[in-house]
Amino acid sequence: EAGVVQSPRYKIIEKKQPVAFWCNPISGHNTLYWYRQNLGQGPELLIRYENEEAVDDSQLPKDRFSAERLKGVDSTLKIQPAELGDSAVYLCASSSRTYTDTQYFGPGTRLTVL
C-alpha cells in the first residue's frame, strides 16, 4: 500500500512569491490534514478535511494561505505571497477516521523563503 505522497520535497523561493504544495493521501482515507512544523517544534495543524469539506481551518492564516481538496482525494496548499516566517516543513497526513485513528504522515515539503 502506497503511503502519503507529497511534492515537491524541497522548495526555495524569494519572499512575496507564491508557492503551492501537493498531497495525495492513502487510498480510502477520508480525513486529510495539513501541518506546519518549525525547527525544533511539534507539528501545528493548519487545516483538516473530511472528504472535500474543510471542517477545521481555525489555524490557517487566511490572508495568505489557501487550501483545496477537490473530489475529496488529493489536496493543494498554497501560500501567496510567502513571507520569511513561512519557512518550515509542511506536512500532510491522512487517516481513515478523524483523530482517534492513526495518522499517516507524508515526507513533507521543506520550504525556504529568502
Shortest distance, position 16 Cβ to other proteins, whole Å? 28
* 22 is a site residue for other proteins (CB under 8 A): no
- Residue 40's contacts (CB-CB under 8 Å, 6 or more residues apart) are none
Nearest to 69 by CA among 49, 55, 40: 49
Q: Nearer to other proteins by C-beta: 74 or 104?
A: 104
Give the x-and-dash track for 51-90 against other proteins (CB under 8 A): -----x-x--------------------------------
| Site membership for other proteins, residue 25 (CB under 8 A) | no
